[in-house]
Amino acid sequence: MADDKILIIMTSGPDTPRRCATPFFFATLATAMDYEVTMFFTIDGTLLLKKGLADTVYPKAGGKSAGEFMREAIEAGVKMTACSASLELHDLKPEDLIPEAKIVGGASMWQMAEESKTVLTF
């Protein structure tokens, strides 16, 4: 049973690789503190959920890919949600996303924010 909920809103995507590691790292860290963590991907963040794309994004040259950071977060129990409108923005279909991503509407984001003790935006 988790202590509290945390919501991380991810708006950064492949155009800004250096912004694509820390949000996942912080999410994984929060699960290690027994928080229940959800990431909500919108704007360009949603692109990171496109199958295979995060594996081509390197926050640091020679380091781990954003895909590796994301998989660690998923393995630690972080829930991944994608904003339905942002799929349209990038001409993505639900089947283009990794299977762990759950597509939700914008109102779900407000609901998750309301239920969370802390909301972080990247």
Verify binding: residue 34, another protein, rule CB under 8 A. yes
Verify binding: residue 65, another protein, rule CB under 8 A. no
Verify binding: residue 28, another protein, rule CB under 8 A. yes
Residues facing residue 7 across a β-bridge: 38, 119
Closest approach of Cβ 64 to another protein, in Å? 8
Verify binding: residue 25, another protein, rule CB under 8 A. yes
Closest approach of Cβ 47 to another protein, in Å? 24
Which phi-psi region, left, alpha or beta, contains residue 74 (left: φ > 0; alpha: ψ -120 to 50)? alpha
Angle at the Cα of 12 from the Cα atoms of 36 and 17, rounded to 5 degrees: 110
